Amino acid sequence: MRIIHNLFAEQFTHPTAVTIGNFDGVHLGHRHLLQHVVNDARRHGWTPTVVTFQPHPRRVLQPGARMVYISSWEERLALLEQAGIDLVAVVRFSQEVARMQARDFVRALVERLHMRSLWVGPDFALGYQREGDVRFLKRVGPELGFAFHVVQPFTLDGEEVRSSRIRELIGQAGDVRSAARLLGRYFSLSGLVVHGDGRGRHIGVPTANLAIAPTRLIPANGVYATWAWLDGQRWPSATNIGVRPTVSGANPTRTVETHIIGFQGNIYHHYLRLEFVQRLRDEQRFPDLNALLAQIRRDITQAAALLAEEESHAWGKT
């Protein structure tokens, strides 16, 4: 897959079928739209293309707003490539870009990307004050030389699949199982394994503490059954997210730490990827360390059993 890092500074001469968006998570709704783009491109011999934005427009238009992402930039690119996209063109979003007239932006797509078709959802709009809505694009398509197509939203169990809903399920409810259905895969987090306080190792349950980028979505506090990917190998694991109320001091720090079941070895400074399968319980305070340790052992047993069952089903084969 080719990446154009600045749309307005580069030229792509082969005809393209295009869609536009941020595609955070590349969930089933996104893939539904992307499949139309890919099919159209393959049918005509064009290049299936995604136009996206860096930074996210909201970070420019609402500088104080906190934003978290379902997927990292690198994960997003990999998922777009898996969906059949051959070209990603990045628009470096700025106040100047925000003030562009819709016609000028669309003309740039035609001139810079040789756009022959544009595929969007029914609520799509671009350009200054969102003037480039569906009605506008239907009108200017024939004038500028591209076919315009509107794709109806993808629904699952009567619900439209949206990134905002997935963020709610993961970040507020910790319902990673339901989120996985909308994503079409497990929600995952990657990070460098860093030193913690060593308490897990001292009580016989060593954990890997992950350094997670502050812009990443993290599941709600609790204990989860997870798959841990290390050096291309998958391990069952139990992951705790939270402030560890039983052992933390007055100013607890939220952590993501996982016990890799059956693994022995030093993995400091290795990258670890966690796939979240199911939430087991809330984070809670215990009366003493012995009670905490007993619950941790029950968590590990439950996670191991759940993941063994999971492995026998389709989700375990992805």
Are 136 and 230 found together in one domain? no
How far apart are alpha carbons 238 and 227 in whole angstroms? 8
Tokens of 97: 């870009």
How many structural domains are present in the chain? 2
Instruction: Give me the residues paired with residue 40 across strands.
Output: none
Last residue of a domain, one of 124, 156, 188: 156
pLDDT at site 156:
95
Are 11 and 137 found together in one domain? yes
Last residue of a domain, one of 121, 156, 191: 156
Answering whether pTM is above 0.85, one says yes
Are 129 and 190 found together in one domain? no
Are 148 and 213 found together in one domain? no
- Say how many C-beta atoms besides its own lie within 10 A of residue 218's C-beta: 19
Are 130 and 183 found together in one domain? no
Q: Mean pLDDT for the chain?
A: 93
3-state secondary structure of 136: helix
Look at residue 193 and tell me if it is in a domain: yes
8: domain CATH number is: 3.40.50.620
Are 81 and 30 found together in one domain? yes
Query: Quick one: DSSP state of residue 277?
Result: E
Are 203 and 310 found together in one domain? yes
Are 151 and 232 found together in one domain? no
How far apart are alpha carbons 98 and 104 in whole angstroms? 12
253: domain CATH number is: 2.40.30.30
Look at residue 170 and tell me if it is in a domain: no
pLDDT at site 240:
96
With a cut of 50, list the residues of the chain below it in pLDDT.
315-318
Burial class of residue 107, CB neighbours in 10 A (0-12, 13-18, 19+): middle
| Domain range for 130 | 2-156
Question: How far does Cα 282 stand from its chain's mean position?
Answer: 23
Are 136 and 250 found together in one domain? no
Last residue of a domain, one of 125, 156, 187: 156
Look at residue 57 and tell me if it is in a domain: yes
Look at residue 198 and tell me if it is in a domain: yes
pLDDT at site 317:
44
Are 197 and 275 found together in one domain? yes
Query: How many CA within 13 A on the CB side of residue 120?
Result: 21
pLDDT at site 316:
43
Are 279 and 140 found together in one domain? no
Look at residue 225 and tell me if it is in a domain: yes
How far apart are alpha carbons 258 and 86 in whole angstroms? 36
Look at residue 168 and tell me if it is in a domain: no
How far apart are alpha carbons 229 and 236 in whole angstroms? 9
Look at residue 252 and tell me if it is in a domain: yes
Nearest-5° Cα angle at 114, 112 to 118: 105
Contact 154, 161 (CB under 8 A): yes
Are 214 and 287 found together in one domain? yes
Look at residue 7 and tell me if it is in a domain: yes
Q: What letter represents residue 178's amino acid?
A: S
Q: pLDDT by residue (tens digit) across 83-120?
A: 999 999 999 999 999 999 999 999 999 999 999 999 99
Pairing of strands 125-126, 132-133: antiparallel
pLDDT at site 251:
64
pLDDT at site 195:
85
